[in-house]
Structure 1
């Protein structure tokens, strides 16, 4: 059933009615990942290229679409199987890292950055840091804007994001 929603996530236009369709499709997929994330659901979504379909929403969609797409990616990476899928090949890691960096740049361009999107982005980086191989990659390619005060106002307003960022720092210090 979810594969019927993927074409709606891939719409190349940003018209309001089409954006509503994209949001609805993303919402269905996100609802499948509500707590606790079922391994079978994650396996299904990974095997049907859900992450690639979230890309279009991240590249073209509204802030709400971007947030839900990152929620989906974060939930997939919060499971062992999903994280393994994202980190097993360097191409996948760099693909996801590139998406996350684009979103950080997007947040800096916003007049008022979206706190929930930022929180999810930090969560994605924290999840990626749990794998030793990707941890080494993150040490080399981690965006400085997570640590140089660019998002200080968001971190001050959201203790959960700050805790997640501190966990990321702690994990990156591990061997």
Structure 2
């Protein structure tokens, strides 16, 4: 057997075939690893507003190449990607109304309706609020405000303002503030006593909570809500009796000392409702 030519050796063909198969498998794995690294890099770029458009374009071009890489789970599980994509569509003027006409925000509302305070639900709540916040971020967008009011966003925001984390409360209060900044939103809240007092009760409870755990950013949004409510004559008259005393005294002096803008807003509010001004810091 040892004297046979190599071409007739029974081991040579099998050895060559085995080596070729291993090389092919290694090359295939290397190619898959390269494509996976490319996908991961593009997904990371989705969180950067400056790189997002190109990353989306590249992912779209190569979607056929990526089918075997489970890109969907990568997108779903990568931090902030889904929220970034939804917020991008919700905030862009060319896609905002398409986003609303498709009623996509309604799919987020169940996450705002939950009362669970566990971390996974809080993340879902915050992501959903971020999308709604992107919708209302632009001023003078009555169509957006009208849509949100017609789908009962106010009770959902009030629920989050009562039981969410500090960050969720801040975003939810920002949304209410932006809704109030539009005349349609202000009228909606102030023409029905139960709506006004529901908003006022939640804002007052938040003020009381902030006295124990201060947050300058959240306090500013609360004061902005009160200030806008004071633009309505009936609401302003009601605020003379229901504005929290903690906003009238020196409870938040330490917060306001470092935030002259919020202090000025509060002074304007107190002036509007004709109550005593705050004592000097």
Task: State if a TM-score over 0.5 links the two structures.
Answer: yes
Q: Does 1:60 align with 2:163?
A: yes
Asked if structure 2 preserves the Cα contact closer than 8 Å seen for 1:93 and 1:134, the reply is: yes
Cα distance in 2 for residues equivalent to 1:37 and 1:15 = 36
Residue-by-residue CA offset, 1:130-151 (whole Å, 9 max, x unaligned): 0001111001111110011000
Q: 1:93 aligns with which of 167, 178, 196?
A: 196
Residue 273 of structure 2 corresponds to residue 172 of structure 1: yes
Structure 2: gaps spanning 5 or more residues: 1-103, 276-281
Query: What are the Cα deviations for residues 34-57 of structure 1, in whole angstroms up to 9, with x where unaligned?
Result: 122410000111111000111221
Choose 1 or 2 for highest CA Rg.
2
Q: Distance in 1 between matches of 2:140 and 2:171?
A: 15
Q: Which runs of structure 1 show a deviation greater than 6 angstroms over 4 or more consecutive aligned residues? A: none
Correspondence for 2:236: 135
- Is 1:145 the counterpart of 2:246 in the alignment? yes
* 1:46 paired to 2:152: no
Looking at structure 1, the residues matched to 248 and 254 of structure 2 have their Cα atoms a distance apart, in angstroms, of 12
User: 1:12 Cα deviation (Å)?
Assistant: 1.4
Cα offsets for 1:72-108 (capped at 9, x unmatched): 0001001111000010011111100000011011111
Superposed CA RMSD in Å reads 1.2
Rounded to whole Å, the distance in 2 between the matches of 1:30 and 1:43 is 15
Q: How does 1:27-42 map to 2 (within 5 A)?
A: 27-42=130-145
Residues 248, 270 of structure 2: 8 Å contact kept: no
How many angstroms apart in 2 are the aligned matches of 1:142 and 1:59?
Answer: 18
Measure the CA separation in 1 of the matches of 2:107 and 2:257: 41
* Cα distance in 1 for residues equivalent to 2:139 and 2:123: 27
